[in-house]
Structure formats: structure tokens, C-alpha cells
Amino acid sequence: MQTPDVTIRQFEERDSLRVRELFIKINRLLAPPNMREAFEAYIERSLVEEIDRISDYYGRRGGGFWVAVRDQQIVGMFGLESAGTGSFELRRMYVDRFARRRGIASTMLRFAEGECRRLGARRMELSTSELQSAAIAFYERAGYALVREAVAVDASNKTVGGGIRRYYFEKVL
């Protein structure tokens, strides 16, 4: 998919270093001062379990991973993994800080929704944390309904844990 400012294309192994850097950079920016150690552990775990093996990770989960390219630079990324019959989960949707407020996230979200429809899904799910208030507002504006909240106690490659509140959204496509 291409807009005047950004091209969305499937992840290629040559993108690995930039995707890794973007993941680390954004998560370090999200880390509250009192949770830096927890975020570093989360980053390390996510690199080992997911980010450093994107093709395998998303391939095994019936999904895919894409990057957003602007001026020959990767400025965004996102993945989709199966969330059961007729549903996909949006994962790792990040836009580099210097590229925000240019419609890149909206372009990526529309692409992800289109990919879900193409694969026969009727619903897309996603989650985000209380630390990402702009993301929460963005998803609500895009028609996603809050279906539940939970406090993440345990860490995984999907959450830092540590008592951070997570918001779970879905949209019927």
C-alpha cells in the first residue's frame, strides 16, 4: 500500500536492525522512571522471543509483519497474529517520534484492517497500556470499542507487567 507520504510493505530480514532499534527506542521512551528496570527486562525478553525472529514468530501465528517506509526510512511497524477463528490481533504498532502526526498510524491501521478482511477475518483485536493515552484516543477515534481492562501483573513478550493497566479493544470489520 502506498500513500503520498508512506509505503507499507511486508517485513524483510534486511529490516531487522531498524525494527529492533525502533522497538527499543519507543519502549524506553514509554518507561516511567520508577519502572526502567522492568522495561529493560521486557525489552530483552521481547527481543529474544519475538522481535529478533519476526518472520518465524508471526509465521507460526498465522499472521505477518509490515513496515512503514517514508523517504527510504522505516518510520513505523506493526504485526498481525491470529486470535482465533475470524479474528486477528494487531501487535507492535509503533511510529517513530520524528514521524508522528503525519497520518502514518492511520495508514498502517487501515492497511491492517484491509489485510484482516483479505484473510477472511471479521474482527480485529488490540491492546495498549495506560502509558499510551494518545494510542487509546487514536483507537477510539478509529472505531475500536473497549471490551475490557486488566492490570498486568506478570511480564511476557506482550506486556511489561508490574501493575500497568491494559486496555483491550476490538472492532468488527
Which residues of the chain form beta strands (DSSP E)?
7-10, 64-70, 73-82, 87-95, 123-129, 145-152, 164-172
Under DSSP, is residue 111 helix (H, G, I), strand (E, B) or coil? helix
Question: In terms of C-beta density within 10 A (0-12 exposed, 13-18 middle, 19 or more buried), how is residue 123 classed?
Answer: middle
Q: Encode pLDDT of 59-100 as tens digits.
A: 999 999 999 999 999 999 999 999 988 999 999 999 998 888
Q: Which are the contacts of 10, defined by CB distance < 8 A and separation ≥ 6?
A: 64, 65, 66, 67
> Is the pLDDT assigned to residue 4 strictly greater than 70?
no
> Is the pLDDT assigned to residue 152 strictly greater than 90?
no
* The domain over range 7-126 is classified in CATH as 3.40.630.30: yes
Which residues make beta-bridge pairs with 107?
none
Question: pLDDT exceeding 90 applies to what percent of the chain?
Answer: 85
The amino acid at residue 55 is S
Half-sphere exposure of 117 (CA within 13 A, CB side): 9
Q: Which are the contacts of 48, defined by CB distance < 8 A and separation ≥ 6?
A: none
Q: Encode pLDDT of 120-147 as tens digits.
A: 999 999 999 999 999 999 999 999 999 9
Contact 8, 108 (CB under 8 A): yes
Domain ranges in the chain are 7-126
